[in-house]
Amino acid sequence: MSNYTMFAASSNPRLEDNTVLITQDLAEMFGLTATQKLCFHVGRFKKLLTVVVRNQDKLKNGMTFSPALIKKLYLRKDQKYGVKKDIHGFHLGPVVGITADLFSEHSRPFGNQTFFFQQLLEAGRNLGEICFAFSPLSINWGRGTVVGYTYSPKGWKKSAYPIPDVIYPREKNYSNHNYRRRLEKLGTRFFNPPVAGKWETYLIMKKNPNLVKYLPDTSIIRSFNQIDTMLKKYQAVYLKPVAGSRGKNIIKVVKKKRAPGYEYQYEVNGLSIKGSVPTLSRLQSSLKRVMGNRSYIVQKQIDLLKFEGNIIDVRILVQKNHLGDWETTGIACREGRRGSITSNISSGGNGRKLDMVLRRHFDDENKHIEILEEIKYLAIESARTLEKVIGQAGEMGVDIGIDRSGNIWFIETNLRPARHVFLLIGEQDTRLKSVEMPMLYLRYLAGFSSKER
């Protein structure tokens, strides 16, 4: 059952600034029979207003305000918004904030995410949300407002808004900010929990017996002797920073077969750095430059499929829908650039369709179906398993490897997944759906639930 509906906002200068006119159909829907006072909530802002039922015109699903009141409620005339009613009164919107790092460039205030935010805001407006993007540094805690940005064909516009009902965090290192805890105390809900590191993720997954077979052997590095032990078992391993992303500072180490020593490879600014050392101590000193003081895991190398000689893995975007249930939005293969040890698009990689890659390696169509179904299962089960421990989440990018025998391996999850790979494989509709889904789930998260999208 839906607990909200959409209404059209209009303005009438003859109305008093503390009065709202609502149409007969809305009054009946919300059980209003006569003039009464109700509290109107817009995000964390609230105002007591007199509600008067209009029953002598043909308008449907409408609310009319004075020009001053419509502005005070952060609404715009001739737009449609969501509205729900509970024991606390009417709730409009909901109010959705997208947090981001703010840049000085006027036409691209949110850097590389600017176009993505334009699409999010458009999707939100179509859903009746009061939505905007803002920097957490712009919160005025005393007034309970934020300075946010909206987009129109005329460009970006800056205005004051109430503290949101729900927030989609997209700023760098968003999980480290104290503002999150302060907003949660005010009742604001967040789309995703703080980021979980690779080691924490591995330990969480390992507790699920259904996922153990998909996990490559992994250890937290406390001594370089652990790397040597793993190399004696597997010949080649990957060293990955616990808190890393986008494939940065990942190292591949191979134990030489015919002579003592080790070979290593990592990437810096798109350049591949390779080396060979005779001893473990020399390996440690050689890798100090890239590893620094970061915490690392060591993981056995997966014999991943390749496409024209380039390493391939699979990115599955799983997202919550308008009912709060996990769905698979899109699946794409990520192909690393020539000679790269990772498949990351940001490092010069490319996208490929999964069926194309599977046809190159497996002749049996039934094998293709089996792999696809197993990938979907692993992605959704990984998201559910992780969510139970780290907190309620709205989307994850799950990276999965397929080895040359057709076995499936869990690689990692990303709570701030990129979507560009779907454009690279020509799936514009998937990209657009991936933008709409967060706004649908944010509406649900704010308590504006509906069976309709």
Instruction: Please report, for the domain that includes residue 175, its CATH number.
Output: 3.40.50.20
**Same domain as 418, residue 349:** yes
Counting Cα atoms < 13 Å in the Cβ hemisphere of 176 gives 5
Picking from 30, 65, 93, the residue at the C-terminal end of a domain is 93
C-alpha dihedral sign at 178, 181, 184, 185: negative
The pLDDT of residue 122? 96
More confident residue, 243 or 99: 99
Residue 182 lies in a domain: yes
Residue 424 shares a structural domain with residue 438: yes
Residues 362 and 380 in one domain: yes
* Strand, coil or helix: 184: helix
Q: What is the pLDDT of residue 339?
A: 84
pLDDT tier, 451 (very low <50, low <70, confident <90, very high otherwise): low
d(CA 163, CA 183): 8
ω before 153 within 30° of 0 (cis)?
no
Which residue(s) pair with 341 in the sheet?
Answer: none
Placement of tokens 């929990």 in the chain: 193
Which of 300, 317, 344 is the last residue before a domain boundary?
A: 300
The pLDDT > 70 percentage for the chain reads 97
The stretch 399-406 carries a mean pLDDT of 95
| Number of domains making up the chain | 4
pLDDT given at position 105: 86
304 DSSP 8-state letter:
B
User: Residue 114 domain-assigned?
Assistant: yes
Residues 375 and 414 in one domain: yes
On whether the CB atoms of residues 447 and 3 are closer than 8 A, the answer is yes
More confident residue, 194 or 133: 133
The answer as to whether 195 is a domain residue is no
Say if residue 274 is in the same domain as residue 376: no
- From the list 251, 236, 197, the residue with the least C-alpha distance to 220 is 197
Quick one: 278 and 314 in the same domain?
A: no
Q: List C-alpha distances in Å: 308 to 249, 311, 324, 331, 401.
A: 25, 9, 40, 20, 17
Question: Is there a domain that residue 108 lies in?
Answer: yes
pLDDT tens-place string over residues 268-325: 877 888 999 999 999 999 999 889 899 999 999 999 999 988 999 999 999 999 999 9
In a domain, 398, yes or no: yes
Domain that holds residue 351: 304-445
Q: Judge contact between 249 and 291, C-beta under 8 A.
A: yes
Q: Hey, what's the torsion of the CAs at 328, 333, 336, 341, to 10 degrees?
A: 70
Share the mean pLDDT of the chain: 92
Beta bridge partners of residue 4, listed in sequence order: 84
Residue 299 CA, chain-centre distance (Å), reads 26
- Separation of alpha carbons 56 and 58, rounded Å: 7
Residue 260, pLDDT above cutoff 80: yes
Contacts of 16 (CB under 8 A, 6+ apart): 50, 66
Q: pLDDT-derived band of residue 247, with 50, 70 and 90 as boundaries?
A: low
- Write out pLDDT tens, residues 15-41: 999 999 999 999 999 998 889 999 999
CA 64 – CA 8 distance, rounded (Å): 8
The per-residue pLDDT for 60 is: 85
Do 114 and 221 lie in a common domain?
Answer: no
- Residue 452 resides in a domain: no
The pLDDT value recorded for residue 175 is 60
Q: For the chain, how many residues are written?
A: 453
Q: Are residues 324 and 441 in the same domain?
A: yes
CATH number, position 48: 2.40.40.20
> At a CB cut-off of 8 Å and minimum separation 6, what does 17 contact?
66, 68, 69, 72
Return the residue matching tokens 């369709």.
353
- The pLDDT confidence band at residue 447, using thresholds 50, 70 and 90, is very high
pLDDT tens per residue, range 131-187:
999 999 999 999 999 999 999 988 999 999 999 999 999 988 766 578 899 999 999
- 303 C-beta neighbours (distance < 10 Å), count: 14
Do 269 and 319 lie in one domain? The reply is no
Q: Give dist(CA 230, CA 319) in Å, integer.
A: 35
Average pLDDT over residues 92-114: 93
- Residue 25 and residue 121 share a domain: no
Question: What are residue 79's phi and psi, to 5 degrees?
Answer: -115, 160
Q: Are residues 99 and 133 in the same domain?
A: yes
Q: Last residue of some domain: 272, 300, 328? A: 300
Residues 296 and 329 in one domain: no
% residues pLDDT > 90 (the chain): 78
201 occurs within a structural domain: no
* Single-letter code of the amino acid located at 270: G
Half-sphere exposure of 257 toward its Cβ, with a 13 Å CA cutoff?
A: 3
Answer whether residue 61 is part of any domain: yes
Residue 2, pLDDT > 90, answer no
